[in-house]
Chains A and B, each alone.
Chain A
Amino acid sequence: DLRRCLISTDVHTIEESFRGIKKAIQAKDIFQNVTILSPSETLHSIKPSDVCCVTKNLLAFYMDRVFKDHLEPNPQILRKISSIANSFLSMQKTLQQCQKQRLCHCGQEATNATRIIHDNYDQLEVRSAAIKSLGELDIFLAWIDKHHHGTSA
């Protein structure tokens, strides 16, 4: 059953929020030669049938770890992060509907990809890991945009 569980949330609005803080966030990332989402190996090899699971897992990664581990003093940046976090929460609710209809199966590759990302995160001190993951949001957003076109479930 190739029917996938798709998110209809307008990712471009989220991308716009991220563009507003990208430079400021990435400037605080002191480990430039390290990556957490590592696009070449992890996200690009995800099969269509694993898209829902990886999306769900990465939304949870950002909601449960990244946004919580990052302490932001600047109100303007805080507003943008809040906007992204609440949009992710809205997307998560959409995916929860899919889970009820058992459309969000996790294959081994999806589980591996998620574990790699968490392992990469754990390699760094938590604040550094959070700031780096925030700075890599555009990788995740581009991946969502690419894999979640078409009709929603």
Chain B
Amino acid sequence: DAVAVLPAPQNLSVQSTNMKHVLTWSPVVVPEEIIHYSVEYQGEYESLYMSHIWIPSSWCSPTAGPECDITDDITATVPYNLRVRAVLGSQTSAWSTLKQPFNQNSTILTPPGMEVTQDGFHLVIKLEDLGPQFEYFVAYWRKESGAEEHVKMVMNGGVPVHLETMEPGSAYCVKAQTFVKAIGRHSAFSQAECVKVQGETLPL
């Protein structure tokens, strides 16, 4: 190994929201030099059975920025070890390893964006497309006391979905949450959005 005069990256951390995972670290600064980085990972399988095996990240071996989208590398719901080193020509720093292994089941799940519209008397929702791992629970009800809440499971975002044929002169409200089967968790519900037949969206 080259003598590690190049300082190792510090402050590794992972930000994960809606199953998108980004590893970040503090940049290594060497005056008048452009530093690159190399990211590697090992899943729990490797750390248990083949601890010497580290796998080059799909997108960041090498990379210029002090961050790396590791979403495509994290493919199972098990802890993953992550490490980074700086590269300058043939020189490499020591590896810096993420203190705590990362597991995708810790991702932050946000309520989905949604567009509630009416097509004539039809109540229609279009949900934010968060990717193939996401399913959506949509709850909707007629805005009157004692109204029953209906639930519909939507498998894909990004496409309009018919919810209900509305009664003239009535108002309907809708809210939605996401569910990720791979980690067995769901988001909080979104704010409810209401529409009045032939009217605009009512503020809450």
Contact = CB atoms under 8 A, between A and B. Distances in A.
Contacts of B43: 82-83, 85-86, 89
9 contacts: A63-B45, A63-B49, A75-B55, A75-B56, A75-B61, A82-B45, A82-B46, A85-B45, A89-B76
B181 A86 contact: no
A79 B55 contact: yes
Interface string A78-102: 1100110111111001000000000
Interface string B102-132: 0000000000000000000000000000000
Contacts of A17: 75
What's the interface size class on B, roughly? Answer: 20 to 34
B22 interface: no
B49 A87 contact: no
B193 interface: no
Interface string A1-34: 0000000111001000100000000000000000
B56 A86 contact: no
- Provide the main secondary structure of the chain A interface: helix
Interface of A: 8-10, 13, 17, 63-64, 67-68, 75, 78-79, 82-83, 85-90, 93
A80 to B, nearest CB: 9
Nearest to B43: A86
B69 interface: no
Given A10-B182, A64-B49, A89-B45, 19 more contacts: A8-B181, A10-B181, A68-B49, A75-B56, A78-B53, A78-B55, A79-B58, A82-B42, A82-B46, A85-B43, A85-B45, A85-B46, A86-B75, A86-B76, A87-B75, A88-B45, A89-B43, A89-B76, A90-B77
B164 interface: no
Interface string B15-56: 000000000000000000000000000111110111001011
B155 interface: no
A89 B73 contact: no
A87 B76 contact: yes
Contact of B76 (A64, A67, A90): A90
B153 interface: no
B159 interface: no
A17 B75 CA distance: 10
Given A10-B181, A79-B58, A86 B49 contact: no
